[in-house]
Chain A
Amino acid sequence: MKVAVVTFPGSNCDYDLYKAVQQVGGTPTFVWHRDRGLEGYDAVFLPGGFSYGDYLRPGAIAHLSPVMEDVIAFARSGGPVLGICNGFQVMCEAGLLPGALVRNAEIKFRSHDIFVRVERADTPFTSHYEQGQVLRIPIAHGDGNYEADEETLRRLEGENQIVFRYTDAAGEPTEASNPNGSHANIAGIVNAEGNVLGMMPHPERAMESVLGSTDGVGMFTSMLANLSGAAG
């Protein structure tokens, strides 16, 4: 699996994502935001961080980077694109996914482990999980509160585009388990075509027991199994 890890000025989870891809046996390459051309990659990852310092709005400036034209083209042609945290924010700004990530309900930055329930195990990103499986994964964000208009939210539910929901340890999507006020405890969504996934939690930070959890490994092995050699 050849993965382009796109780096914007201010990205800071690029290296973590790079190491996670390597850990499962994939081949990551950093692609600087001003570089062009994503031919030959099996997948494109947009990492977390503070692209352009979150100035204006998280992801608002990064989505205008030259490389984003290629990322959008890659996605439109069916290429798998994963965005985590700031990467998810960039995706929403770029129109790759519907809705927006706004300020956490409590205003403050939140950094701790949360639980998410896997709502769909039939995407190329999540096939190594069971549907309904509960994962323990860190979050670290100030703007993770997922919002969208009524129609979009109905469509996401109706078309089964919600991939992860914040829950308690038992898998119940309670209000207390929602760290940022996201509508319907949404933690991650996929586009209608199923090839673009955005999520606020950091699976790349849950890859080793010494770090507290290995629940993120499944995402990377899923992709490795499903995406290797997918692109020409």
Chain B
Amino acid sequence: MSTADGVATASRVPPREGDPEITPELVAEHGLSVDEYERVRKVMGRDPTFTELGVFSAMWSEHCGYKNSKRLLRLLPTKAPWVIQGPGENAGVIDVGDGYALAFKIESHNHPSAVEPYQGAATGVGGILRDIFTMGARPVAVLDSLRFGDLDTPRVRYLFEGVVRGIGDYGNCMGIPNIGGEVVFDRGYEGNPIVNAMCLGLMKKEDLITASATGVGNTLMAVGARTGRDGIHGATFASEELSDDSDEASRPRVQVGDPFTEKLLLEASLELIKSGAILGIQDMGAAGITSSASEMAGRAGNGVEIDMALVPVREEGMTPYEILLSESQERMLVVAEKGREDEVTRILEKWELEAAVIGTVTDDGLFRVLEGGQVVADIPALPLTDGCPTYEREGVEGEEVQKLRAMDLTEHLIPEGDLTPTFLMLLGSPNVASKRWVYEQYDTTVRTSTAIRPGGDAGVVRIRGTKRAVAATADCNGRFVYLSPRTGAKIAVAEAARNLVCVGALPTAITNNLNFGNPLKPHIYFQLREAVLGMAEACEMFETPVTGGNVSLFNETDGRAIYPTPVIGMVGVVEDVDTLVQHAFREPGDDIVLLGENLGEMGGSEYLYVTADLVAGEPPTVDLGAERELQQAVLRMAHEQLLRSAHDCSEGGIACTLAEAAIGNGEQPLGVEVSLDDDLRPVQSLFAESQGRIVVSCAPSSTDAVLAIAEEHGVRARRIGQVKPGEEGFSVTARDASIAADPKAMTAAYFGAIPGIMNAPSATGA
């Protein structure tokens, strides 16, 4: 057996004919530092071969080895009684009741999407789906969290259009409904779009399977698509900064997706798991066969021996190096029980796919690779998977941010009087406006279980045969994180939780996607560390442990980093689908109640971005204890069926929250009559993005009960107005200012904004 120090020594491996000599330049090209290479030599007890160098390069990349984030990730809470599987597997798994378990995870495909948006995004969806069904769960919902630059450049529109089409084509073909997510436009993402895809899968608890190479003597089989030369070194690519010439040069490192094969692979994998013929299964995702085989060995404390000559390939003449590092899509590695290989092959053949025996599970703790019987790599498995050096970097806050945060915003708070034009401008800003243009390209109703579709606070899928449902949301306001990483991260968790309680779901666990710049820069490492600390604190408070996720660093173009964007994918449980709440007002005459305080915090707001082209100021404060009380209060109101609607306050402030609730799905927009009597400037009352606020509506007969529950939880609550028929207009006053708009015109602005930009004749491609 090997130890983490690599005591189990690798055997001597002669250099393979035709392989380049290992030089310091070659080591550097593989993304390994001088110190890291020394560590490789220590683990190996000798110089690595070219093939071995490639393996280390992939496994010790940021993408696979988490070398700059692992120490921070340890700070996150990961346990709760309902957590069945925490971090370290293909996906996290929680108990959702009635014998069901939910597997869920989020993953990024930022770099590939930046150079080839359609395939980059499509394969991102493919990868996250495989992470879910390799746990034994059937994927039941997809969400996506997307960020682009402002839509005013052809390049950004090209990326946006391609990413959305890629996600749609893949998910639609697979027959997995898309139930929500978020789309953000801000120049902070101009060079590096953020494409995070999240998947939820349901299974009976007993169907859980993990990715371990257990049982010495068992057989390793490659199943699904053949291995080609696409995506070689994708994992290393994902761990670098982009530059102007990344586009052309990096395209060969982007994989190509085939959702039809994936659909067959999904059905075949679930059938394999049910058959009991396999003991473990893992996606050949980032770093392909290398990571799947070595990680499965590492988890079981075993070794593996695989022969590259047995791997079905698409083209002749592929070297072991290429086969090991290919990221061709729609492939799986399975551990079949010895003697049941034919059963595995028969199931794959039924689904018109291939299966090939490529190796065995061994007891020597080594990741051994053969080429037609000749050893070409022989590496202690555990140091390879767990021995990646981890770093704590220097973290110092950037000066630019400190200046932005200290900026005096007073001059922007002056406007009063008729604020209707400002309001309509905000409602039509792509960040606030409806994302219908996006989600209408996604199948949202296939599998006939979608109880709440995209467009509301959170998506919901019911669990067939029970009264239960699971809810999910993906959230982050990168501007807030940029201005104050710790606070911003707390806000991301708090907003996700508010979104869940707004539909009546109990926040249960999270998966996170940490999208950041280059952590070797002190101001970026500062953002990363602070964000993790904020996230940890919020997750502790809300009892929403982190069950896994993804880290995407080096999101920089020409030295300029994205906003730090720790996306929170949060899931929640609904015990009774009959108690679901939606965001739209329903009945004229209903009371509108504001839960939480209007604090008038304008820093990082959409108002500042739209009216002053500014991302500045102190972001809103967040009181986690108060958030938790608010969550509990709203959940009680939902369970007692007191609410007609509930909607979180976020971008665009309370004015836009009210507008979205009034517009609903646009079929029958309603009006409101609301008066805000805060001791604030009108702009602050209407457009501030202070946290901890939810707008609910209820029948007047329920208002006292709603206010009483709020009081019990110490949540400030007040009736601010009434829902009106659409003809009576949308009227909101705040001291000396007012908004008066026709709900039909609001509906047109809200739904028409993004199509207006994307369908304009000038908007065709880059």
Contact = CB atoms under 8 A, between A and B. Distances in A.
Interface of A: 9-10, 12-13, 15-16, 19-20, 48-50, 52-55, 108-112, 138, 140, 142, 169, 202, 204-205, 207-208, 210-212
A52 B172 contact: no
B448 A207 contact: yes
Nearest to A52: B260
Interface of B: 165, 168-169, 172-175, 258-261, 263-264, 351-352, 439-451, 453, 462, 464, 577-578, 580, 667
Contacts of A12: 173-175, 263, 446
Contacts of A108: 165, 440-441
A210 B462 contact: yes
Nearest to A32: B350
Contacts, number: 91
A53 B441 contact: no
B261 to A, nearest CB: 8
Given A140-B445, A205-B448, A9 B174 contact: no
B263 A140 contact: no
Given A9-B263, A210-B451, A210-B577, 9 more contacts: A19-B448, A50-B263, A53-B258, A110-B440, A202-B445, A205-B445, A207-B448, A211-B445, A211-B451
Nearest to B441: A109
B24 to A, nearest CB: 46
Nearest to A139: B445
The 5 closest A-B pairs by CB, nearest first: A12-B175, A53-B260, A140-B443, A50-B173, A138-B445
A211 B449 contact: yes
B440 A112 contact: yes
Contact of B259 (A50, A202, A204): A50
B684 to A, nearest CB: 37
Contacts of B446: 12-13, 16, 48, 140, 205
Contact of A10 (B173, B439, B440, B667): B173
A193 to B, nearest CB: 30
A33 to B, nearest CB: 10
A49 B439 CA distance: 18
A111 B443 contact: yes
A110 B464 CA distance: 26
Contact of B444 (A9, A15, A111): A111
Contacts of B449: 211
A50 B258 CA distance: 12
Contacts of A19: 448, 464
Contacts of B263: 9-10, 12, 50, 53
A207 B464 CA distance: 13
B577 A111 contact: no
Contact of B445 (A20, A53, A111): A111
A109 B259 CA distance: 16
Nearest to A179: B440
A167 to B, nearest CB: 14
A138 B446 CA distance: 9
Q: Which of B172, B443, B445 gathers most chain A CB within 10 Å?
A: B445
A49 B580 CA distance: 29
B168 A109 contact: yes
Nearest to A109: B441
B441 A211 contact: no
Contacts of B464: 19
Q: Which of A19, A53, A204, A210 gathers most chain B CB within 10 Å?
A: A210
Contacts of A50: 172-173, 175, 259-260, 263
Nearest to A211: B448
B351 A9 contact: yes
Contacts of B451: 210-211
B236 to A, nearest CB: 30
A10 B259 CA distance: 9
Nearest to A53: B260
Contact of B450 (A15, A55, A211): A211
A111 B260 contact: no
B643 to A, nearest CB: 17
Contact of B172 (A15, A55, A109): A109
17 contacts: A9-B263, A10-B260, A12-B263, A13-B175, A19-B448, A48-B446, A49-B175, A50-B263, A53-B261, A109-B169, A109-B172, A111-B445, A140-B172, A202-B445, A211-B448, A211-B450, A212-B453
Contact of B260 (A9, A13, A15, A205): A9
Q: Which of B165, B453, B464 gathers most chain A CB within 10 Å?
A: B453
A54 B259 CA distance: 10
Contacts of A140: 172, 443-446
